[in-house]
Amino acid sequence: MSIEIALGAALLAAFPRLRRRLQLSRAKHPSLAGHSRMAKRVARLVPGYGYDEQEFFGVDGAPPEVQARRRNGFELLSRHLCESAPATLALTARAREGLSDLQLTGRYRVPFQFSEYVRGKLPVGAFWQSAAGVQLQDLDGNRYYDLTGSYGVNVFGVDFYKACMEEGARLGSALGPVLGGYHPCVAELVERLRAISGLDEVSFHMSGTEAVMQAVRLARYHTGRKHLVRFTGAYHGWWEDVQPGPGNPLPPRETYTLKDMDETTLRVLRTRRDIACVLVNPLQALHPNRNAPGDSTLVDGSRQAGFDRAAYTAWLQRLRQVCSERGIVLILDEVFVGFRLAPGGAQEYFGVQADLVTYGKTLGGGLPVGVVCGRAELMRRFKPERPADLCFARGTFNAHPHVMGSMLAFLRRIETPGIRAIYQDEPRWSGWAERFNQALRDGDLPVRIDALSSIWTVSYTQPSRYHWMLQYYLREQGLALSWVGTGRLIFSLNYSDADLAEVLRRFVGACCRMEADGWWCSPGLTHQAIRRGLLREMLQQRLAWN
Ligand SMILES: Cc1ncc(COP(=O)(O)O)c(C=O)c1O
């Protein structure tokens, strides 16, 4: 052993705080997503600038002939998008100025350097007239296959939710807006949710974000510890503590963002005494340690994904064991994946029992909701031995009669043989993803699909500055994505094989058009060269500012 190593070991043995600090650093993912504080600093340094028309088509140094093809394709695409949906686009333009959310989503569909030019030329309508089956219709009568999935709410198809909402409204109509007391159906809901979650108690909230807030608050209250652990890249709503990086103006406080599926994280959990809970969003199984794959961050195409059910199951089981040993509350945040993967949610699908589970989105049967289920001793909001020490949680609209009614309709319906059969058919989704991949390989197209059941993500097999353009070619083909773009395709489980075959045809068609228009023609380009070029650009912009 060298003298330096021996000295280092002696130092660590003598200073346990230093050792724990080092352990924490080792459990952080090396990417910016793993370093919230640093990511915020870097985000503040990025200068705002945009490409002019010249740069827009040739920022990767493509030859003039390729740039000409791109211009021509872009022009046709622009004409199609503008001319096919005039009423939808007019209303979108009218609402934009006063609708903050629309300004954000419109701006962050694509990498910011391209954003302004794209917004002017490739407008995307934000309004829908109606929905039926697996399709959406805009104000101009155009029909699109719905791959937005309504942020994951739409698991069984819009007609299913319309029926739940109607039934909920009927059930709740005699009470109308009466709050505070409960509609009688709440008793049945509690029984059903206890059975589904395998947990003792239930609380109702108004959104997934609120359910997560309450679960973390309860964990802190009962353990007397402050810190929560979340995994790199995982989304748990927009509350401060679970969103410690860019997007939140405050610096990270009591949140440790650690590596998902990694031994160093277990070591931290085994040794620290300040951790109240571990939050898990099982959607991350599709892209562990990576942020939601939005097209606005698709600057070079190095997005990667891949779902390994056995490995993720084994990880959750190890996490369960360590949390039990250390008295850390394991919270499974099923707001996104709950009721999509199996009737018993992610707990059933991955074979793990959590201490607290959060649900939301689809569980409201089409209406807004958040739910926490948990072990009795964790759900209690008071301590009889210390009556003034409460864990307060309310919310005016929690347990609204209409929401409770549509949730009951949802829970009753998912027990019917038709829905049970849909759940049994889960392997169908990986089969279809493989069919898409085969077609993409056959067409020699640089695109691949990874699937976590009916939640898909698109990755790219070669470097390019223009992968995000695919979302517009998909739109042209009548496939509607959310503002996140090609990183998140969400199918409802009522897609028939005929629907999927049609989506496949259109998807491959969009890729072929994109290929023919030259967007993937950038010979010799590497991810590294793209990143270097971007850094150079940004430095130049900063210098020009100063
Ligand atoms: C896993 C997870 N948790 C929490 C939330 C927040 O839910 P809501 O948007 O209803 O506040 C989301 C939303 O996407 C989510 O995916």
Atom of ligand 1 nearest to the CA of 333: 1
By most ligand atoms within 8 Å of CB, the mutation choice from 101, 150, 212, 356 for ligand 1 is: 212
Give the relative orientation of helices 86-96 and 64-84 as an angle to the nearest 10 degrees: 90
| Per-residue pLDDT, 542 | 83
The residue whose CA has the least distance to atom 2 of ligand 1 is: 236
Structure tokens at 480: 């509607």
Around ligand 1, the residues with Cβ closer than 6 Å are: 151, 207-209, 212, 235-237, 281, 333, 335-336, 360
How far away, in angstroms, is 367 Cα from ligand 1 center?
14
Strand order in the sheet with 143-146: 130-132, 135-137, 143-146, 479-480
How far away, in angstroms, is 503 Cα from ligand 1 center?
27
Atom of ligand 1 nearest to the CA of 208: 7
By most ligand atoms within 8 Å of CB, the mutation choice from 148, 206, 209 for ligand 1 is: 209
How far away, in angstroms, is 448 Cα from ligand 1 center?
26
**How far is residue 97's CA from residue 183's CA, in Å, rounded to a whole number?**
40
H-helix or E-strand containing 25? Answer: helix 16-26
How far away, in angstroms, is 313 Cα from ligand 1 center?
22
H-helix or E-strand containing 430? Answer: helix 427-442
The residue whose CA has the least distance to atom 12 of ligand 1 is: 237
Answer yes or no: are the C-beta atoms of 331 and 375 closer than 8 Å: no
Q: In one letter, which amino acid is 362?
A: T
Answer yes or no: are the C-beta atoms of 149 and 492 closer than 8 Å: yes
**How far is residue 428's CA from residue 442's CA, in Å, rounded to a whole number?**
21
How far away, in angstroms, is 256 Cα from ligand 1 center?
19
How far away, in angstroms, is 264 Cα from ligand 1 center?
27
**CB-CB neighbours of 189 under 10 Å:** 22
Structure tokens at 450: 């990874």
Atom of ligand 1 nearest to the CA of 211: 4
Beta pairing partners, 455: 452, 490
The residue whose CA has the least distance to atom 7 of ligand 1 is: 208
- Sorted by sequence, the CB contacts under 8 Å of residue 98 that are 6+ apart come out as none
Return the closest-CA partner of residue 202 out of 374, 420, 407.
Answer: 374
How far away, in angstroms, is 525 Cα from ligand 1 center?
37
The residue whose CA has the least distance to atom 6 of ligand 1 is: 237
Atom of ligand 1 nearest to the CA of 369: 10
By most ligand atoms within 8 Å of CB, the mutation choice from 239, 335, 363, 403 for ligand 1 is: 335
The residue whose CA has the least distance to atom 13 of ligand 1 is: 237
Structure tokens at 508: 């491959």
H-helix or E-strand containing 115? Answer: helix 112-121
**CB-CB neighbours of 245 under 10 Å:** 23
How far away, in angstroms, is 336 Cα from ligand 1 center?
6
Return the closest-CA partner of residue 304 out of 510, 432, 467.
Answer: 467
By most ligand atoms within 8 Å of CB, the mutation choice from 150, 356, 361 for ligand 1 is: 361
**How far is residue 119's CA from residue 476's CA, in Å, rounded to a whole number?**
16
| Per-residue pLDDT, 1 | 56
Structure tokens at 187: 């008793």
By most ligand atoms within 8 Å of CB, the mutation choice from 210, 336, 455, 482 for ligand 1 is: 336
Atom of ligand 1 nearest to the CA of 361: 10
The residue whose CA has the least distance to atom 8 of ligand 1 is: 208
Answer yes or no: are the C-beta atoms of 329 and 276 closer than 8 Å: yes
Q: How far is CA 107 from CA 12, 101, 116, 118, 316, in A?
A: 48, 10, 8, 9, 37
Answer yes or no: are the C-beta atoms of 248 and 419 closer than 8 Å: no
Coil/strand/helix, residue 257: strand
How far away, in angstroms, is 236 Cα from ligand 1 center?
5
How far away, in angstroms, is 350 Cα from ligand 1 center?
20
Three-class HEC string of 385-421: CCCCCCCCCCCCCCCCHHHHHHHHHHHHHCCCHHHHH
Distance between alpha carbon 156 and the CA centroid of its chain, in Å?
19
Atom of ligand 1 nearest to the CA of 209: 11
The model's pTM: 0.95
How far away, in angstroms, is 129 Cα from ligand 1 center?
25
Q: Quick one: DSSP state of residue 489?
A: E
How far away, in angstroms, is 286 Cα from ligand 1 center?
17
Low-confidence ranges of the chain (pLDDT < 70): 1, 12, 14, 545-546
How far away, in angstroms, is 544 Cα from ligand 1 center?
40
The residue whose CA has the least distance to atom 16 of ligand 1 is: 336
| Per-residue pLDDT, 545 | 66
How far away, in angstroms, is 246 Cα from ligand 1 center?
17
**How far is residue 28's CA from residue 154's CA, in Å, rounded to a whole number?**
34
